[in-house]
Amino acid sequence: MSKYHLPPLGLLATFEAVSRHRSFTLAAQELCLTQSAISRQIRSLEEALGLRLFRRLHRAIEVTPEGQRLFESVTRGLDDVSACLAALGAESKAPQITVCASVAFAWFWLMPRLAKFGALQPDVDLRVLATDQPVLPGAGEVDVAILFGSGRWDGLDSSLLFGERVYPVCSPAYLRDRPPLLCPEDLLEQTLLHLEYGKQSFGGVNWRTWLMRQNVAGQPVRRGLRFNSYPMVLQAAEAGHGIALGWSYVTDPLLAEGRLVRPVDRTLETRDGYYLCTSSEAVHAPGITAFLEWISAEAAVHGTLRMRQGNAIDAK
């Protein structure tokens, strides 16, 4: 014996549509049925309940008081079922995360590590937006952003991944074909590779800033090469076209592989850094939480390796 004494649920759905539209014709269009089929279903429901649910007027219908009470109850039930199904469907879908980072950060640091995240979180759909125009989380499609700066952005939760360390790099062949470079002043005699966006980038560190912080007051003797893309700068450095500034999070692995070397052992460390940022509302979303925990752990490993490399250089 059924727990619920109900008429066929299809009849209740038809009744809800007719009551909402106050029209057999509009209900028939919504449910893709004929008007006569709608009329038969309503008649069957009234007979099953022993109640009159509608008054048939000339070119119109009117819901009876009994019909109105039933309509309100059926509407509440269907709304609850619909909301439950929507929630279940959302839970069954793979969480999608959009991460925004600079082109250099996305290309050199994030992309080589993405396979690790995919292995740990195979159900998360990760989308990477690489752009040198910073996009703040919560303002559109971005859930997480790696931003460079002081770590203070209104309305955002931020945590430091690592600080900024900048030092000169070049190819082993470039260094081998020239007299030894003994101090930063010797760089003024070399071809310097410049990164230019038409605005300050990477915190404003450029060759002029780097040399000034090393107490070098002169000007480069040779004409340099200028690029608007950091991957192009490093490609030119590897090809032996000159000396570039290397940001440690990018160039530390290239030094370890022997693709680049440091012509002089001087480093500039700024007060700014690379921060993991998300909106305060989204920080606790399951997929976002998993990504934040993973990338923070990767940054900690990066910091440990960098410290070991620094100690090895000091030992030399």
In the numeric block, which tokens belong to residue 171?
Answer: 């190819």
- Domain encompassing residue 55: 9-92
Share of the chain above pLDDT 90, in %: 34
Residue 96 has pLDDT above 60, yes or no: yes
Q: Is the pLDDT of residue 249 over 80?
A: yes
Instruction: Report pLDDT for 188.
Output: 94
| Domain CATH number, residue 40 | 1.10.10.10
pLDDT of residue 197: 66
Q: CA–CA separation, 203 vs 152, rounded Å?
A: 14
Helices (H), the chain: 9-21, 24-31, 35-49, 65-92, 103-104, 114-120, 172-176, 207-213, 230-238, 248-256, 286-315
Among residues 92, 125, 159, the one where a domain terminates is: 92
Give a yes or no: residue 4 inside a domain. Answer: no
pLDDT tens per residue across span 270-314: 888 899 998 877 766 778 888 999 999 998 886 644 544 444 444
Neighbours of 107 (CB within 10 A): 18
167 falls in which pLDDT band (50, 70, 90)? Answer: very high
- Residue 259 has what pLDDT? 95
CATH code, 172: 3.40.190.290
Higher pLDDT, 219 or 244: 244
**112 and 45 within one domain:** no
List, for residues 110-143, the tens digit of each pLDDT value: 999 989 988 988 888 888 988 888 788 876 688 8
Handedness of CA 249, 250, 253, 255 (dihedral sign): negative
- Residue 182 class from Cβ within 10 Å (0-12 exposed, 13-18 middle, 19+ buried)? exposed
53: tokens are 């649910």
232 and 280 inside one domain? yes
Average pLDDT over the chain, rounded to an integer: 85
Question: Does 3 map to a domain?
Answer: no
Three-state SS at 128: strand
Asked if 79 and 213 sit in the same domain, the reply is no
Residues 143 and 166 in one domain: yes
Q: Is the pTM of this model over 0.95?
A: no
Provide the number of structural domains found in the chain: 2
Residue 316's pLDDT is 41
For residue 235, is pLDDT > 50? yes
Residue 187 has pLDDT above 70, yes or no: yes
pLDDT score at 311: 43
Domain assignment of residue 265, yes or no: yes
